[in-house]
Amino acid sequence: MDEQTHSPFNALPPVVVALAVVLGGIELLFQLASAGLIGGQEGVGWRIGAMQSYAVLDTVWEWMRANQSFPREHLVRFVTYPFLHGGLTHAAFVVVFILAIGKMVAEVFSALAVLLIFWLSAVVGGLAFVVLTDTPYPLIGGYPAVYGLIGAFSFIRWVNLGAMGENQMRAFGLIGMLLAIQLLFAAIYGNYGDVVADLSGFATGFLMSFLVSPGGGHRLLNRLRQRD
C-alpha cells in the first residue's frame, strides 16, 4: 500500500498545515477557556477581550484618521484579526477552506508566496473594511485571507483555461457562488462590511498571483507587450 494513503494529511503542504493548526489551535484555546477548563474565571472573557484589542474596528480607524496618529498597537489589528473567530463553526469553516484551497495553491506556488498572499489579503481586506464601510461590527476571522487564496486558485484556473483555449471566465465560478451566498446573508443581516473585506481579499490574491506565481512576472510582462 502506498504510504501516502495512510493519512490525508500526508499530501498537505506544511505551510497549509501550519496555518490551519495555528488558527484552529487559537480557537481551541478559546473553547477551553469558555468551558472553564483553562484560564479560570478570567478565561470566559478571553474572546471578548481579544476582540477589543486585536479585531479591526471602524471606530478605532476613525480615531486614528481624525488624530493623524497610527500607533503600533492599533495597526497590528490588521494582521491579528484573522486569528480571532466568533465561534467554533466560524473557525472550522475557515480551517477547512485553508486546507482545501490552500493545498491546491501551495502545490503550484512556493510556501513564501502562499504566506504573502494570505497575510497581504488580510491586510488589504481589513483596510477596505474600514475605508469603504461604516459599520459598528468588528472584522474578525480568516475569511479575507482565505478569499486571497481563492483569488490565487482562480488565477491558476484562469491561466490553465487560457492555455487550453477555453473560456477563462469559468475560473471565477467559485468566487461567484460564494459572493452570491454572502450577499444574501448580508442583505438579511444588514452588514456588508464582511463582503467588502472578503472581495478585497480575493482581488488582492488574484492580482498578487501575477507577481508571486512561478514565472508570474514574466507572464505579466509578456501580456503587456502583446497589447502594445
User: pLDDT (tens digit, 9 = 90+) per residue, 156-207?
Assistant: 999 888 888 898 899 999 899 988 888 888 788 777 889 999 999 999 999 9
Residue 64, CB-side half-sphere exposure with 13 Å CA sphere: 17
Sign of torsion over alpha carbons 56, 205, 83, 48: positive
Q: Is the pLDDT of residue 81 over 90?
A: yes
Cβ-count burial 7-45 (b if 16+ within 10 Å, e if not): eeeeebbebbbebbeebbebbebbeebbeeeebeeebee
Q: Is the pLDDT of residue 7 over 90?
A: no
DSSP single-letter state for residue 36: T
3-state secondary structure of 108: coil
Q: What cell was used for 138?
A: 468588528
Mean pLDDT highest for which of 6-10, 148-152, 187-191? Answer: 148-152
Q: Which helix (H) or strand (E) element contains residue 44?
A: none
Distance CA 34, CA 50 (A): 13
Identify the structural domains of the chain with CATH numbers, from first to last. 3-227 (1.20.1540.10)
Q: Is the pLDDT of residue 109 over 80?
A: yes
User: pLDDT (tens digit, 9 = 90+) per residue, 24-33?
Assistant: 999 999 999 9
Q: Quick count: other Cβ atoms within 10 Å of Cβ 83?
A: 19
Where does the chain have alpha helices with state H? 14-34, 40-43, 46-54, 58-67, 72-75, 77-80, 88-106, 111-132, 143-163, 173-189, 193-212, 216-227
Residue 43's pLDDT band (cuts 50, 70, 90): confident
CA-to-CA separations, 69 to 52, 66, 176, in angstroms, rounded: 19, 8, 38
CA-to-CA separations, 105 to 100, 156, 188, 205, 218, in angstroms, rounded: 9, 8, 33, 11, 19
Q: Is the pLDDT of residue 208 over 90?
A: yes
Q: Is the pLDDT of residue 1 over 50?
A: no
> What angle do helix axes 193-212 and 216-227 make, rounded to 10 degrees?
90
Please report, rounded to a whole number, the percentage of residues in the chain having pLDDT higher than 90.
69
Q: How far is CA 181 from the centre of its chain?
A: 17
pTM: 0.90
